[in-house]
């Protein structure tokens, strides 16, 4: 208990205060509220090597999918890998706030990976060592417009996050995120001062399945629009990840092979 309290105090110490989280939400809302031509200055370019980075709508993946104008902006946060052409200049403070958020989150990811190790009575560094010194942080900003038929249209289909850890900043007024457990969907409540920590597939692998990467989805809302910001923290490209040795024994056999980092770039 004391260990967890210590971790929470450390987060506040690193400036991840409720008012700072409000500022991050505010610039997200302001960006999506801009006129379409302004947002399209940052459009992703499907033909180039920039992959999913940039601003755009959902792609149609199946015939059944009904489009609802969901908008997204993806940017890489790591300073040395930033592609500033995708970083909004409007609102004016967007880049400064996102830069601050990056610095704070890179401290928070260390705290969380250390806390996970401690909670399993392992050495502090065992998750961090696999995560590596060059972990990648990808930000996904989401805007879900209000939708006249929430029964027909989903905001994000059910999925797990491929990251090690995702930090999710939810809308402070509108619900939408749901997690699946025992074949039932559970709503995530709004806690404005909280950053939601989601275990991703890679942390599930490292923990040999002790931590589960939960299936989640986002439903739409007929009355209100909603925003969120997910930051996916991925191990460095040179890292190989696999179950931590001390979590494999006769009672808990190895559930996963060692795998190269799944986002390895060629
Ligand atoms: O919008 C949300 O609350 C969740 C978004 C999400 O799950 C994702 O971007 O992977
Ligand atoms: Fe997700």
pLDDT in tens, 204-257: 999 999 999 999 999 999 999 999 999 999 998 777 899 999 999 999 999 988
Asked, for residue 2, whether it belongs to a domain, the answer is no
DSSP state letters, 202-258: HHHHHTTTSS----EEEE--SS--EEEEEEEEE--TT-EE---GGG-SSSS---S--
Pocket test for ligand 1, best of 142, 147, 164, 178 (most atoms within 8 A of CB): 142
Considering the domain boundaries, does residue 158 fall inside one?
Answer: yes
Ligand 1 mutation pick, 216, 220, 225, 226, max ligand atoms within 8 A of CB: 216
Asked if residue 265 belongs to a domain, the reply is no
Examine the pLDDT at 183 and tell me if it is beyond 90. yes
Ligand 2 mean position to 171 CA, how many Å? 14
Token duo for residue 228: 């969120």
Give the whole-angstrom CA distance, residue 102 versus residue 79: 9
Q: Are 142 and 72 in contact (CB under 8 A)?
A: yes
* The predicted structure's pLDDT at residue 31: 98
246 found inside a domain: yes
CATH code, domain with 68:
2.60.120.330
Domains identified in the chain, total number: 1
Please give all residues whose beta carbon lies within 6 A of any atom in ligand 1, as ranges. Answer: 140, 142, 156, 161, 168, 170, 176-177, 216, 218, 228, 230
Question: Does residue 3 sit within a domain?
Answer: no
State the closest ligand 1 atom to the C-alpha of 232, by its place in the atom list counted from 1. 10
So what's the pLDDT on residue 264? 41
- Tell me what pLDDT residue 153 has: 84
Q: What is the pLDDT of residue 13?
A: 63
In Å, what is the CA distance from 163 to each residue of 70, 71, 131, 220, 229? 22, 21, 10, 24, 15
d(C-alpha 103, C-alpha 146), whole Å? 33
Confidence of residue 266 (pLDDT cuts 50, 70, 90): very low
Residue 89 belongs to some domain of the structure: yes
Q: Is residue 86 part of a domain?
A: yes
Digit-coded pLDDT (tens) for 60-78? 555 555 666 789 999 999 9
Domain residues for the domain of 152 are 8-260
């Amino acid at each position: 208990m004391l260990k967890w309290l210590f971790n929470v105090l450390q987060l506040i110490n690193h400036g991840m205060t409720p008012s700072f989280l409000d500022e991050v939400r505010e610039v997200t809302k302001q960006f999506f509220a801009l006129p379409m031509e302004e947002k399209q200055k940052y459009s992703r370019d499907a033909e180039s090597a920039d992959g999913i980075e940039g601003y755009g709508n959902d792609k149609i993946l199946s015939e059944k999918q009904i489009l609802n104008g969901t908008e997204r902006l993806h940017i890489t946060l790591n300073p040395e890998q930033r592609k500033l052409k995708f970083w909004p200049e409007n609102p004016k403070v967007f880049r400064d706030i996102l830069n601050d958020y990056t610095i704070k989150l890179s401290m928070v990811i260390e705290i969380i990976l250390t806390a996970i190790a401690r909670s399993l009575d392992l050495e502090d560094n065992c998750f961090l060592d696999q995560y590596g010194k060059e972990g990648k942080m990808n930000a996904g900003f989401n805007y879900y417009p209000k939708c006249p038929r929430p029964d027909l249209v989903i905001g994000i289909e059910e999925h797990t996050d491929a990251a090690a850890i995702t930090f999710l900043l939810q809308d402070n007024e509108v619900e939408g995120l749901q997690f699946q457990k025992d074949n039932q969907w559970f709503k995530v409540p709004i806690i404005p001062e909280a950053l939601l920590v989601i275990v991703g597939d890679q942390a599930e692998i490292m923990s040999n399945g002790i931590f589960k990467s939960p299936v989640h989805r986002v439903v739409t809302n007929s009355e209100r629009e909603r925003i969120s910001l997910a930051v996916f923290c991925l191990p460095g490209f040179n890292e190989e990840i696999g179950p931590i040795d001390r979590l494999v024994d006769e009672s808990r056999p190895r559930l996963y092979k060692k795998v190269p980092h799944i986002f390895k770039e060629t």
